[in-house]
Amino acid sequence: MQYSEVGVSKQAVELVIGEKTGIVKALSFQPNPEMTKSEAIAKYGTEYFEISSGENNFCITNKAVRGPTKENLKFPIALVYPEQGLYVMVGEDGKVIHVGYLYKCET
């Protein structure tokens, strides 16, 4: 399900809902107003590691452990906050593309 102009800040929001259960599996949104990588870190904290966005399916559970930030990352990158079940995707220009919370991993 995709929604536009949600809430006071008029954000674009996407929900992934289980077909059989009707339970939300994931939620992502595009920050409005735009957010930079530095602003995202200030908001969500410094307890993250970075990966290239194409190398992971963002299956982040509360049992995930922090990994090392990899070198020579390809953009867009993701700041992964495993304790929060959160990732922040950042483009080469340093602006946040979207923020996602994953509640249930796809197998």
Residues of the chain with pLDDT under 70: 1-11, 54-71, 102-107
Which of 13, 9, 38, 17 is CA-nearest to residue 98?
A: 13
Return the domain boundaries, the chain.
2-102
pLDDT tens-digit series, residues 6-20: 555 556 777 778 888
Cβ-contact 77, 95 below 8 angstroms = no
User: Taking the model in full, what pTM does it have?
Assistant: 0.72
